Structure 1
Amino acid sequence: MSSEFIISLLTIIGIDIILGGDNAIVVALACRKLPPHLRNKAIIAGIMLAIAARAILTLVAVQLLAIPYLMSIGGILLLWIAFKLMTNTEEDHDIRGEAKVSDAIKTIVVADVVMGFDNVLAVAGAANGNGVLVLIGLLVSVPIIIWGSKLILYLMTKFSFIIYIGASILVYTAAKMILHEAAVSDFIDRVGVNATMFTILLVVLTLLGGWLYNRKALQS
């Protein structure tokens, strides 16, 4: 095993640790309404399907990102996912557990694909076309996301405000994806709003909208 291979592998592991946090937050938010005995099932199934989808995405990442406005569209979709996760306040206990698990799994997979562009590109670049390194990188990301999501889930049961912190991180990621497109970024600059201000406004407005929605739901 060459030193170049080891350095590339360590780089990929570092990328997974750094970029896996927001994915762990998605998993935790998506599974927080499930009964404790169903959470592991949703977490493992959702992450495994998401990793499989990410593996396919890795193979076509460069071609996909060449499509105009795809990153911005993904950012808008992620905004909607963040809002739905934040306002998931239903208390209908007659819904079957399997249905809730399937909803959580779908949310995990969709959000991971949407958010996975940066991870996919970083891993593909670090692997320098080495398929074995890409595969190892994907496998390494599984325990990172699983244990990270379990830790966040535990904290959410103790401190409910963490749900809003998690949602704000997703909105921040969405803002970066939207601003990735040069045409969108230039347009925002022309209206007198810089990237930092745009991101802050997006986070504040989304959190405020989610908080008002939840407050109204509790009062009704």
Structure 2
Amino acid sequence: MELFSVEFFTALVTIIFIDLILAGDNAIVIGLAARKLPKEQQKKAVIWGTVGAVAIRAVATVLVVYLLKVPWLMVVGGVLLLWIAYKLLVDSDAHDDIQAGNTLWQSIRTIVIADAAMGIDNVIAVAGAGHGSILLVVLGLVISIPIVVWGSTLFIKLIQRFPWIVYIGSGVIAYTAAKMITHEKRLEDVFNHNPVFEWSFLILVVIAVILIGLRQNVRRAKAARQLESGGDSH
């Protein structure tokens, strides 16, 4: 990929957007882990917890960038990322398992461990969107870190107000996943020599993920309404 080309900046914007759309979990974890600390220590917990979490994530992402060069791992990563795109739409995890720390160190440790456990989606998505470029991945992380630390809570409020943003995010992740599959070296003959087939595949994958997630959400909302009406009748 040529440095500072349109493709380069498109990939960079995609990485930043993926970091932001998946930052909701980070903000929730940070808030829950630091909630019992005195006000003056909460800021320290947020900053140092995020620094530790980002350091682990940066190393993991660089490792995954190299791993994705192994035959068929682009396809495996792409399929896993499709699942992540779907889960982003339908996941209603309340993070009940995140324990608040009573000391600064406990809170920092909780943030780092929880983020490392949940960060696999971000790592695979960013590595896939980077198309093998370590510079892109590092640039994306550097730009995203301050936004995630100071802006993720604001971003959560934005998503709550405009839920369709999550569908755009899921679409971007699904597109990245489909791109990973089409960039698999062993499938070059299938996709690279037929641009119409490649674009049809990319568009179909994005539409399929969004429609399946939407259907699941509609079904869940309908079931919740029926439960409520059943409870009200009693």
- TM-score of the two chains, using structure 1 as the length reference: 0.66
**1:79·1:170 contact (CA, 8 Å) conserved in 2?**
yes
Counterpart position of 2:126: 116
Query: What is the alpha-carbon distance in structure 2 between the residues aligned to residue 43 and residue 73 of structure 1?
Result: 34
Structure 2 counterpart SS, 1:20: helix
Structure 1 counterpart SS, 2:133: helix
Query: What is the alpha-carbon distance in structure 2 between the residues aligned to residue 59 and residue 160 of structure 1?
Result: 33
**1:47·1:108 contact (CA, 8 Å) conserved in 2?**
no
CA distance 1:156–1:137, change in 2 (3 Å): closer
Counterpart position of 2:204: 201
How far the C-alpha of 1:211 sits from its partner, in A, is: 0.9
How far the C-alpha of 1:179 sits from its partner, in A, is: 1.1
| Identity %, equivalent residues | 30
**1:22·1:169 contact (CA, 8 Å) conserved in 2?**
yes
Q: Which amino acid aligns with 2:123?
A: V
How far the C-alpha of 1:185 sits from its partner, in A, is: 4.7
Query: What is the alpha-carbon distance in structure 1 between the residues aligned to residue 156 and residue 33 of structure 2?
Result: 10
Provide the alpha-carbon RMSD of the alignment.
4.5
1:98 and 2:109 aligned: no
Q: Deviations over 1:171-203 (max 9, x none)?
A: 111111111113335335799962211111111
Q: Which amino acid aligns with 2:165?
A: I
Query: What is the alpha-carbon distance in structure 2 between the residues aligned to residue 43 and residue 202 of structure 1?
Result: 37
Counterpart position of 1:215: 218
Greater RCO structure (CA 8 Å; 6+ sep): 1
The structure 2 residue matched to 1:167, chosen from 156, 170, 188, is 170
Q: Which amino acid aligns with 1:88?
A: D
Gaps of at least 5 residues in structure 1 are: 1-7, 127-133
Query: What is the alpha-carbon distance in structure 2 between the residues aligned to residue 120 and residue 52 of structure 1?
Result: 20
Counting matched residue pairs gives 197
